[in-house]
Amino acid sequence: MADDSVQFSRSYARLREAISPYVGTMMCDSALKKVLAERGLTPSSLRENHVADVVADAMRPLRVLVDNAQLPELMVELAGVIRDLEEGG
């Protein structure tokens, strides 16, 4: 059961919104939280300046989880998220 009291940063929420349609919310959270932990971050502490590195690290598990035909679409979507967050969006 998900903990509804967990607070996500805006950056984490944007990544989750982009990735979860491809792998589901549980797999998305699992992959992102593992990558964040490796960088000493949490869903609530992820900020815009870390997003590009987190996305690069997350591509390892996402390549396994996402259908090969959908992977380019996800990569374009994630590039858009990075760009939007870096521009303050």
Domain coordinates in residue numbering, the chain: 10-86
Residue 77: φ, ψ to 5°? -65, -45
22-28 own/partner pairs: CB under 8 Å, 24+ apart: 22/62, 22/65, 22/66, 22/67, 22/70, 22/74, 23/62, 23/65, 23/66, 27/65
Helix axes 10-23, 25-38, angle to 10 degrees: 130
pTM over 0.85: yes
Written as tens digits, the pLDDT of the chain (89 aa) is 444 456 899 999 999 999 999 999 999 999 999 999 999 999 999 999 999 999 999 999 999 999 999 999 999 999 999 999 988 86
